[in-house]
Amino acid sequence: MVVTEDRVLRAMTDDASFRVMTAITTNTVAEVMKRQNPPSDEMARLGDLLTGTILIRETMSPNLRVQGILRGAGGKGTLVADSHPDGTARGLVSLPQGMTSLPAGSGATLMMMRTLPNGKLHQGMVSYDSNANVSEALMRYMQESEQIKTMIDVACVVEQEQVVAAGGFIVQLLPELTESQLAIMTERLSDFPPMGKLLRNEATASQVLDELLYAMPNTRLGDSPLRFDCKCSQTRVVASLATLDRNELGNLLTDGHPIEICCDFCGKEYAITAEQVRGLLRES
């Protein structure tokens, strides 16, 4: 399969009926899998969540950080997708010991969370049927939490525990939509190939967009690259330690050796010196 750069495209029909985003996220998702090494049962679901979170950020809050969080039944187990305005994204898998997938059953949820410019969080949450696909959960979120009708299809093709392709699209219905235009798009989507099939056929984001909007005059509004990146840093790690109380900080100094802290998202290791911890104690 041909490897192409991950991209997200944005377009709107000239009659203001639909806004459409398409994305290819293969390399980004593959790098997340490399860093997280999730159980094979959760690879496709994590890939779908990552692509879906990118698409929802592009649609709803292109200039904000958006996180998609799937929690298993009873709050056990978490998948996290973290998408940033610069086109970077990362992911995280946290499963109960001995489990290879999110626990199914009552209480599973999908939460979408965006960080506002003032630092506050805007959150929306819907129930998640662990037996359903992520696309359905994302559409339910948009309908119930954002009050916006959308059609979403995301897919992650996994073969022999390797990500072969990943991507998706979102079609948002706009206020100017007429019944005739809705009928056209409804019929088109009913016959539209599943995203997984398009990915296996090496469809690009541009090709998917053209097919979705065939014979509909439209204007392309953007074309941006996507890639994996982690926002961790030595400064952020030290700042996280500053949230501990004095007793917890003091316990870190018992042997005087540097403290090794590993980023859960990317696996990078940081060494925090005893002097840095003492500095935090003086400031607390």
| Domains of the chain by residue range | 7-228, 234-283
User: Over the stretch 30-81, which tens digit does the pLDDT of each residue have?
Assistant: 999 999 999 998 999 999 999 999 999 999 999 999 999 999 988 889 999 9
145 near 126, Cβ under 8 Å?
yes
The answer to whether domain 7-228 has CATH 3.30.70.100 is no
Q: Looking at residue 3, what is its pLDDT?
A: 56
Q: How far apart are CA 13 and CA 216, in angstroms?
A: 7
Q: What is the pLDDT along the chain (284 residues), one digit of tens a residue?
A: 555 799 999 999 999 999 999 999 999 999 999 999 999 989 999 999 999 999 999 999 999 999 999 999 888 899 999 999 999 999 999 998 888 888 878 889 999 999 999 989 999 999 998 677 899 999 999 999 999 999 999 999 999 999 999 999 999 999 989 999 999 999 999 999 999 999 999 999 999 999 999 999 999 999 999 999 999 998 888 888 888 877 777 777 766 677 888 999 999 999 888 888 788 777 76
Query: What pTM was computed for the model?
Result: 0.92
Q: Determine the CATH number of domain 234-283.
A: 3.90.1280.10
Q: Looking at residue 264, what is its pLDDT?
A: 93
Q: Looking at residue 268, what is its pLDDT?
A: 94
Identify how many contiguous H helices and E strands the chain contains and give both numbers: 9, 13
Q: Looking at residue 29, what is its pLDDT?
A: 98
Q: How far apart are CA 70 and CA 42, in angstroms?
A: 11
- Classified as helix, coil or strand, 5 is coil
The 10 Å CB-count burial string (b at 16+, else e) for 201-217 is eebbbeebbeebbeebe
Q: How far is CA 264 from CA 159, 203, 243, in A?
A: 25, 33, 18
Each as own residue / partner, the long-range contacts of residues 26-29 (CB below 8 Å, 24 or more positions apart, any chain) are: 26/163, 26/164, 26/165, 26/166, 26/167, 26/199, 27/3, 27/227, 27/228, 28/54, 28/89, 28/166, 28/226, 28/227, 28/228, 29/91, 29/156, 29/163, 29/166
